[in-house]
Amino acid sequence: MGRLYGITPFTLLDFPGETACIAWFAGCNLRCVYCHNPEIVEGRGEKDDAELVNFLKKRVGKLSGVVFSGGEATYYPGLAGLMRAAKELGYKTKLDTNGARPDVLTGLLEEGILDYVALDYKCPPDRAAEITGTDKFTSSFEQSLRLLIEASRNGLGLEIRTTYHPDLMTEEELGAMMKKLDGLGYRGIYYIQGLASFGEKTLGGVRPPERKADFSLLPEPENFRVSFRNFPDMQ
């Protein structure tokens, strides 16, 4: 699990402040019902590390960042080596992760090869099995959450995000997650994002919501700012 699946050559949206590419890694420890990358999660990467490194060499001076995404990139044994190669070429690095591998995150932070992290805060622990397919990652996620919030106080760029479907999770449950972040002293932006796809394009065949979310029910955070993504009626 975890080989390089593909490369998106250009993005202005996925790495704040950077002109970046995205390296996609196949395989994931979760099976989130709303996942819109089933072909990556359940697929097998066929590309070699050299393909990404050669791509980055050709884009020096044209791109400034590399996003390592998936799937779940932290399951790929060569992740640190690829990040190291990107840093040596002058790129900034960003990791999209579900927090399942705090040991890997610790290594990347200690080596100083990780600039920015987007952490997916999926759901409250008691909803994990239903929404993500397993509850075995909850303890690891807790470790990663605390680790990354602490690292953000020392210069790591960090955003925390939750994909929200009002038929899958209540506003009260989402509010409890926000209170958790406040209690841990998170001071970045918390992104609440709507689903990008529905039906057969998602891993669990999720249907469009039957009710509209009432975000007025959410608590007012003390330490961080909330931003909403992919909710057309809030654009």
CATH topology of domain 4-159+198-208: TIM Barrel (3.20.20)
Decide if pLDDT at 180 tops 80: yes
pLDDT digits (tens, 9 = 90+) for 183-229: 999 999 999 999 989 999 999 999 999 999 999 999 999 999 999 99
> In this predicted structure, what is the pLDDT of residue 231?
86
Contact 75, 45 (CB under 8 A): no
Residue 227, strand partner residues: 191
pLDDT digits (tens, 9 = 90+) for 21-35: 999 999 999 999 999
> In this predicted structure, what is the pLDDT of residue 43?
86
In degrees, rounded to 5, the angle at the alpha carbon of residue 199 between the alpha carbons of residues 197 and 202 is 60
> In this predicted structure, what is the pLDDT of residue 1?
55
pLDDT band at 44 (very low <50, low <70, confident <90, very high): confident
Global pTM value: 0.96
pLDDT band at 234 (very low <50, low <70, confident <90, very high): low
Q: Where are the chain's structural domains?
A: 4-159+198-208
